[in-house]
Amino acid sequence: MGKILAVYGSPRRTGNTALLLGQSVAGAIEAGVEVEEIVLRDLKISPCLELYGCKEDGRCVIRDDFQKVYDQLLACRGLMLASPMFFYTVSAHTKILMDRCQSLWVKKYWIDQVPYGQWETKRLGLFISVGATRGKKLFDGALRTVRYFFDVLDMQLWRSLLYRGLDFEGDVLKHPEYLQEAFQAGKDLARAVADLQRT
Ligand SMILES: Cc1cc2nc3c(=O)[nH]c(=O)nc-3n(C[C@H](O)[C@H](O)[C@H](O)COP(=O)(O)O)c2cc1C
């Protein structure tokens, strides 16, 4: 069974998205898959500097913690990405990681010249997010961002878990049904990843 990578994108270590993602990780482990966890706030990752050194071979030339994450992203078969809504998109930590993956966009579309939309799904992605407010369009911007990010990884947005009305640390604990849903999603993702590998 292929590995799953879990990316914690909130600056809060034990915030709402972290608790949800922790549940998904537990679900995937229960289903028998190996999970690697990354806490973005603990890593030193520069924003993209638009050097385009990646035009050589699709590898970013900035030497920092992104180099290891790059390898982990390419090695995984499933990704769990958790980020709170910050100004109607993903957190800065998460967005910096995404922008550094421009190196993969360059590899895919400039170096390998893959025609747009004509890639095979190699990975499945679960996106977990929460916001304090309750607007209908709360997650629209982030979902578009996530879809295009997943695209560079040949990754399908397999499922998203989006919860409104959660603001203070621990608010999600008042909703055990959300935590249960996240656990189940982790389990389901592990199975879906295994099925994808069989095809
Ligand atoms: C910088 C910042 C920007 C935020 N922007 C939004 C927003 O645009 N919409 C919203 O509903 N909540 C917003 N929030 C609230 C967070 O999404 C909310 O507190 C969430 O529960 C934090 O998740 P976490 O505990 O996983 O970090 C913002 C919070 C911060 C700190």
pLDDT for 162 = 98
Are 82 and 129 within 8 A, CB to CB? yes
How many angstroms does the Cα of residue 75 sit away from the middle of ligand 1?
31
What whole-number distance in Å separates Cα of residue 94 and Cα of residue 33? Answer: 24
pLDDT for 199 = 75
First vs last Cα of the chain: how many Å apart?
Answer: 13
Residues 6+ apart with CB under 8 A from 15: 84, 169
pLDDT for 178 = 98
- Taking all residues of the chain, what is their mean pLDDT, rounded to a whole number? 97
With a 6 A CB cut-off, is 92 part of the ligand 1 pocket? no
Strand pairing partners for 156?
124
User: Which ligand 1 atom is nearest residue 172's CA?
Assistant: 21
How many angstroms does the Cα of residue 4 sit away from the middle of ligand 1?
26
What whole-number distance in Å separates Cα of residue 109 and Cα of residue 173? Answer: 43
Helix/strand/coil for 20: helix
pLDDT tens-place string over residues 22-39: 999 999 999 999 999 999
What whole-number distance in Å separates Cα of residue 143 and Cα of residue 126? Answer: 11
Helix/strand/coil for 119: coil
pLDDT for 1 = 55
pLDDT for 117 = 85
Alpha carbon distances (Å) from 14 to 45, 92, 136, 178:
21, 17, 26, 16
What whole-number distance in Å separates Cα of residue 21 and Cα of residue 8? Answer: 7
pLDDT (tens, 9 = 90+) of the chain, 199 residues, equals: 569 999 999 999 999 999 999 999 999 999 999 999 999 999 999 999 999 999 999 999 999 999 999 999 999 999 999 999 999 999 999 999 999 999 999 999 999 999 988 999 999 999 999 999 999 999 999 999 999 999 999 999 999 999 999 999 999 999 999 999 999 999 999 999 999 988 7
Query: Which residue, judged by its Cα, is nearest atom 15 of ligand 1?
Result: 132
pLDDT for 72 = 97
How many angstroms does the Cα of residue 167 sit away from the middle of ligand 1?
6
Are 54 and 61 within 8 A, CB to CB? yes
Q: What is the DSSP letter of 170?
A: T
With a 6 A CB cut-off, is 89 part of the ligand 1 pocket? no
Is pTM beyond 0.95 here?
yes
